[in-house]
Structure 1
Amino acid sequence: MTLHVAIIGAGIAGPTLALHLQSHPSITTTIYEARPHGSIEEGQHISLAPNALRVLSHIGVSAKLNAIGNSYEELGLRNAAASKIAEFDNGSVDRYGFTAMRIHRRHVARVLVEECEQRGVRMRWGVKLKGLVEREDGRVEMRFAEADGKGVKEVADLVVGADGLHSVVREYVNPGSESVFEHMLGVTGYLQRSELGALVEGVQLPSHFIGKNGFMAIMPSDVAGEEIGFFSTMEFPQERTRGEWRALYDDKEQIRQILKDRFNAAEGWCDLVSGVCEVSKAQTLCSWPFFIAPPMPRWRSSSDRVIILGDAAHAMIPTGGLGASLALEDAECLSQTIRSWTDAKLDRQALHSRMEKWEAHRRERLALVQDFTNKNRWMRAAGGTWAFQYLKEWFMWAFFKFVGSGGQADPIYRYDAKIFAQSLSDSQV
């Protein structure tokens, strides 16, 4: 018997899940995406930690990504004046088996979609999910609207919501679970190294710069190290409507002013940090309000046939740089769960026990990553006074001096989802 899995969302987690399932002879997949084919993925550069690159290596796309993104190991931690506080092993071939990577989000999405198309994964573009119905025959009916307004119905044995922050599938699994504004804003941009001239000389990149009134990361983001991306995460108490957030996103000069008001010489920032705010071209600037997924009692329906993962299940603030990594882990672990169930002859109780184990495993993993993320949020937060900032920098120096350049990230970066696969094989689930 063939199992058909429907995946809602063609971002990063959805295609990764499809590629992990694709090699099983009794599983077929279809990816459904509301955007038209060839649309540009919004967002800018993302970080792929070693645990993310390990997942991507298992589906054979590492070589393509290595030819595009900027691979690095050491991340410099500096104060506003660019003096080094510490160095952090954000990746390490010796320690973790992989470097870290900074890369544009759209490149990762494009590589994954192209791989799906080359391997024969069915993809439907321009169809927006409107609703789900779990039928008495054990299958799930999906109701879509096409761009021309025409309604479409399709069915699958399992439906996986990889449809992001404002997930339709999450609303089905947990009604009323609307994303919550976390009163933080991300501001990003990029420019060419040549545009910075002498400003970049003598400063190790990638680096995070931490000052009394904020945080700025400056990181090469292409394989040659010529494209330099920068971003800041900042407290932003003012809540806005979706239309108002879009207006801010489109108002590039207002975004620049937000940067210039915060990152200037009067506030103690070095020429490089203030310079990227001044020199970068307006069209490269973006702003992103941070929404998080509320705590949810379930990541799957009572029948276990509708499941959510990635940002749909646990969107968090990006101060740990691990949102994409966690979503990729979710996808690989879920693929192992589905493959194991298929091998168990699709028994109903076997599905429940496996999905229960998958969710418990991922929630435990999420708690570890959230703790890491919260610590990074504290490190990046504005302190308000020079004295507080001095104490924070001293604490950071002492912490890395004591624990080493790994910064207690080993359990996060060493993670391999194959361990979870082995647990499915070893236990009678």
Structure 2
Amino acid sequence: MASTPLHSSGLPPPHRIAIVGAGLAGLSLTLLLSRVRSQQQPLHITILELRPRHAQDGGFLALAPNALHILDQLGLYQKLLPQGFAYEDIAFYSARNLSRIGRVKNGDVKRYGYPALRIGRGIVRGELLRAVEELATQDREEITVEMRFETKVVSVSEKEKNVILGLASGEELTFDAVIGADGIHSRVRNLVNGDVKPTFSGMLGIGGGRLDRRDIRPQDLSLPAMFMGKSNAFMMMPTSADGNEVTFFATMEVEERDREGWAKLGEDKQELKRIMVDRHCGRASEWPAVVVEACRSGKADSLSIWPHYNAPILESWTSSSNRIILMGDAAHAMPPTGGQGAAMAFEDAASLAMVFERSDTAEAFDKGVDEWQTTRQDRARKIKEFTTKSGDMRRTSPSVFQQIVKEWIMWLYFKVKGSDGGLAWVYEHKEKCPGDVKVKV
């Protein structure tokens, strides 16, 4: 006997769908839904985005194999590869003496099918956006896509047979389902679950720099590299395909600011440069020359910030009818220290699209959403636990002795876990996508 879904609307699978948010999660979901073939009715997707069409996404992503697999399924991997830096290993060094603590793989073509890819977030979103806009111009019977920018959602209400979105303009739009993919400060989440506020982890990332690899000494320094200092961690990573352009970022403990305060800090490039220089160039005994020189010579106008916020993994990512669904950072935002935020959004999108692929009845859709939520919540919790541990490793060591102890613990961990750092379960995961195809890397 088939099990009864936890949530049930009794309605046919939705075909008029609103996706709130045109970030990595919302755009990838749209493209993945365009591959669904089992729907009895055409899908009509409307994407609602608060920002303007040409809003810029700053910062960089480190896309692991589990993320690249899905981008490959979408036909975007080969387009992105020459726009970023492909690598497999990250070397960990002691900032005290440049001794190497260990090395861990972020990607492995032989084992996982893909390397890792360091690339600008704006580049990835730009390719996704272009693909969605191309989809929107196509005359296809099975799907239509409309994009609306500078559109603010102010209310969400469920009726007997549909969901109504109220916009700041006063307009009301009616859909069969609404997907909240609007990020860590999700408007949809707060309208459905009450005011769920993200909490500041106490950590801030400042990054940029645009250095020339040929100017970095020592020349035989293995990059990407993370330097473990007493007060914080400092990372150097190539970002161009040839490895000649190198950026850096530091993860440090700071006091929280409000959103206006963070925005003001992010715009003050000279202040960001001052913070980096003061923190890393004033303690000759703590940081090696390669870090000191990077902070001094890094270009101020390239610097950006990333405050590390957490949002709780909600008990439910759906409304009682399964017609309002949260995904990506709206459902499980986590700090970037594990390098899995974008990957989790892509995995959410692929697995949710598969629910649509496999659902031809109301019961099948409701059961599919329940199973999707259970499976994704379990993986998100495990990923978040790993991410939290990664962030804790970068926190301040109160003394040199404690710093040395931390380095020895890391050395032992890498020695015991091996080259994958115990993370094979993260990277070898290949989420099934609608219309899965075999691809050559």
Q: State the TM-score, normalizing by the size of structure 1.
A: 0.91
What SS does structure 2 have at the residue aligned with 1:201?
coil
Q: 1:231 to 1:198 in 2, by over 3 A?
A: closer
User: What is the deviation of 1:239?
Assistant: 2.5
Counterpart in the other structure of 2:27: 15
User: What is the deviation of 1:308?
Assistant: 0.8
1:304 pairs with 2:322: yes
Counterpart in the other structure of 2:92: 77
Counterpart in the other structure of 1:34: 50
CA contact (8 A) 2:353 2:433 kept: no
Counterpart in the other structure of 2:381: 367
Structure 1 Cα separation of the partners of residues 355 and 249 of structure 2: 36
User: What is the deviation of 1:363?
Assistant: 0.8
1:58 pairs with 2:73: yes
User: What is the deviation of 1:234?
Assistant: 1.6
Alignment of 1:28-427 (within 5 A): 28-41=44-57, 43-80=58-95, 81-120=97-136, 121-136=145-160, 138-145=161-168, 150-193=169-212, 197-199=215-217, 201-236=219-254, 238-264=255-281, 265-341=283-359, 344-345=360-361, 347=362, 349-418=363-432
What SS does structure 2 have at the residue aligned with 1:119?
helix
User: What is the deviation of 1:24?
Assistant: 2.5
User: What is the deviation of 1:327?
Assistant: 1.1
User: What is the deviation of 1:419?
Assistant: 9.2
Unaligned runs of 5+ in 1: 423-429
CA contact (8 A) 2:49 2:151 kept: yes
Structure 1 Cα separation of the partners of residues 351 and 23 of structure 2: 18
CA contact (8 A) 2:36 2:353 kept: no
CA contact (8 A) 2:70 2:433 kept: no
Structure 2 Cα separation of the partners of residues 158 and 223 of structure 1: 41
Unaligned runs of 5+ in 2: 1-11, 137-144, 437-441
Q: 1:134 to 1:198 in 2, by over 3 A?
A: closer
Structure 2 Cα separation of the partners of residues 230 and 331 of structure 1: 30
Amino acid at match of 1:197: D
User: What is the deviation of 1:132?
Assistant: 1.2
Structure 2 Cα separation of the partners of residues 241 and 383 of structure 1: 27
User: What is the deviation of 1:230?
Assistant: 1.2
User: What is the deviation of 1:375?
Assistant: 2.1
Q: 1:198 to 1:66 in 2, by over 3 A?
A: closer
User: What is the deviation of 1:365?
Assistant: 0.3
Structure 1 Cα separation of the partners of residues 17 and 223 of structure 2: 43
Question: Higher mean Cα deviation, 196-205 or 392-401?
Answer: 196-205
Question: Higher mean Cα deviation, 225-234 or 64-73?
Answer: 225-234
Structure 2 Cα separation of the partners of residues 93 and 101 of structure 1: 12
Counterpart in the other structure of 1:425: none
Structure 2 Cα separation of the partners of residues 295 and 365 of structure 1: 11
Structure 1 Cα separation of the partners of residues 240 and 427 of structure 2: 22
Question: Higher mean Cα deviation, 23-32 or 296-305?
Answer: 23-32
Amino acid at match of 2:210: L
CA contact (8 A) 2:313 2:381 kept: no
User: What is the deviation of 1:204?
Assistant: 1.1
CA contact (8 A) 1:333 1:421 kept: no
Q: 1:289 to 1:320 in 2, by over 3 A?
A: same
Structure 2 Cα separation of the partners of residues 356 and 128 of structure 1: 29
Amino acid at match of 2:159: R
User: What is the deviation of 1:17?
Assistant: 0.4
User: What is the deviation of 1:200?
Assistant: 5.5
Amino acid at match of 1:114: R
User: What is the deviation of 1:297?
Assistant: 2.2
Runs of 4+ in 1 over 4 A off after TM superposition: 419-422
Identity of aligned residues (%): 37
What SS does structure 1 have at the residue aligned with 2:314?
coil
Structure 1 Cα separation of the partners of residues 87 and 187 of structure 2: 36
Question: Higher mean Cα deviation, 248-257 or 406-415?
Answer: 248-257
Report which of the two has the higher share of helix.
1
CA contact (8 A) 1:6 1:31 kept: yes
User: What is the deviation of 1:420?
Assistant: 11
Q: State the TM-score, normalizing by the size of structure 2.
A: 0.88
CA contact (8 A) 2:103 2:419 kept: yes
CA contact (8 A) 1:22 1:28 kept: no
User: What is the deviation of 1:215?
Assistant: 0.1
Which of the pair has the greater relative contact order for Cα pairs under 8 Å at 6+ separation?
2
Structure 2 Cα separation of the partners of residues 259 and 79 of structure 1: 19
Structure 2 Cα separation of the partners of residues 200 and 185 of structure 1: 28
Amino acid at match of 1:78: Y
What SS does structure 2 have at the residue aligned with 1:391?
helix
1:163-182 CA-partner distances (Å, limit 9, x unpaired): 00110110122112122222
What SS does structure 2 have at the residue aligned with 1:369?
helix
> How large is the Cα RMSD of the aligned pairs?
2.0
